[in-house]
Structure 1
Amino acid sequence: MAKNQHPQPWATTALPDLTGRTAVITGANSGIGLTTVKALAGAGAHVVLAVRDPRRGESAAEHVNGSVEVRRLDLADLASVREFAADWHGDLDLLINNAGVMNIPEARTKDGFEMQFGTNHLGHFALTNLLLPHITDRVVTLSSTAHKVPGNPRIHFDNLDLAREYQPMTAYSQSKLANLLFTLELQRRLAEAGSSVRALAAHPGWAATNLQGHDASFLRRVFMRLGNRLIAQDSEAGALPTLYACVQDLPGASFVGPDGMFEMRGAPTLVSRSAAASDPATARRLWTVSEELTGVTFPEPAAVA
């Protein structure tokens, strides 16, 4: 390398040949999910778009060059999660827990859970554990810098649904904190079971997608639209931390995000998490509660890849 020449930031061109590998991506019909599909399929992987609306999934798949298929998955319905997992046969190299809802008005999943916690965390918790006997490489779960916004985000164990004090941003922050605690405890359990499978997390920074368009607050929607134009990365840049976590040789429980100011944009790199997201005792407690709520448990060690 010439003197004073800096290495190029990591990009999709650095993806290895993924021929023969299979990935499942939740929420894959738009935004970062669809961009991730295109990148992995373009590198040779067979990619399953796990989506709530198969018609929208098929429409999105038409714009992907590579081997893809569409399967129905509604993370807000545990019966749908169980059906998806029961229909899976054969190895699965990558599970990417990408789908999510953000700052929405108060709502409930089909099973009665607060929608953001139920979709972003519990749905993925159940899906991951049900698919785990098939997974051969890693699980990548999308979190957010919202897990450490001012106000000391925490898991409200005494009121997970926030039924008495629902605030959209509080619910979203709780769900994104849960994603990181889930990754931490999943990695601990995998290592304890002697599995080579790794659990990692990523966040996209501020990426311009349709996720912000469902915010419960009109003023926040206006602010988000402005931010999408002036600050945000596009979905291609926003997907880089996910892709980096999918293929780089990283330690289990790693957290990947952009390297720019406030982690809003930039090249993918390892980033820090809050103290609350690093607490193993809270991670174990959340895991136990999640098992009780979903009825899904960590597979017996002999069944883990």
Structure 2
Amino acid sequence: MSMIRRAFAISAGVALVLTISSGTVCHAARKAKAVKRPAAHVSSKLSVPANIMAGAAVTSGRYFSAPKLPEDTLAGIRLGRPAKEILSRWGNPSRVTVGTVQSQGPDQTQQAGIPYTPPAGGMAGVPYLGGIAAGVNQAAGLLGLQNSPMPSGMPAPGYLPPMTPGMPPAPGQTQPNSGGSSTTLTEEEVTWTYDLQNGITLEFIITDGLITQITVGGQGPWGLSKTRTGLQLGDTYKLVLWVCGYPENQRYAGRFLRASYVNKSRALYTFLNKKLVGITIAMVPQELM
């Protein structure tokens, strides 16, 4: 009888040791996981004070992050993808505009900027951006050159009238492979504009069959206007600067203020009365060479 009790006591002791050991291992594993998760979560989220958030069209359920990577997607469409993806997502455009665009060769030393601009007229379909000499896309090209004036006589990136075969290049412009110190290439670009029923206007610029620039315009809010950083139409000037930092440069076009983050994140923000009414992202020259 005593032997049975002793055997039972030994087996119970072994079971207790195994239970404690197992519990210790599980607890250590849970503790290791608990330490890792919050660190990853905190590093990806940018804290925004209530007074900075105040005034935005949407103030609750928002998450923001610092602009560590360039913007590449807007309105559900990604830069550099084939144009047919726009048709698949948004269908037939409201308007189609065809023009030409120029780009400088690699021997140019001008400051990098967004090179693509809509052919003649800018964003006529966007109620908040239309009627201004330089539309949101034209402003993007101008902002890229704001601190680096082009040599006298050389046109800034933008719309060029088509050249008649045999005509000499414009002043300050050289033909490709001409041996000049700079080379200006011209190619066809197409602008597809979509006027959505919710008052939002989309504009896609396509060069050589690829999406090279995307603009969304309107009062917002609109979820598909959201950037990597979490900003969207309807946000305030102070919120944009809090999240993205101080702009590379700023410029007024009429009543509209354009803040450029072209070199940092491929983005240009357009404000009316300190509210975000336009977002433009585009591929920069280095990506198009």
TM range (shorter): under 0.3
- Structure number with larger C-alpha Rg: 2
The structure with more helix, counted as a fraction of residues: 1
TM-score by length of 1: 0.25
TM-score by length of 2: 0.26
**Larger RCO: Structure 1 or Structure 2 (Cα < 8 Å, ≥ 6 residues apart)?**
2
The structure with more strand, counted as a fraction of residues: 2
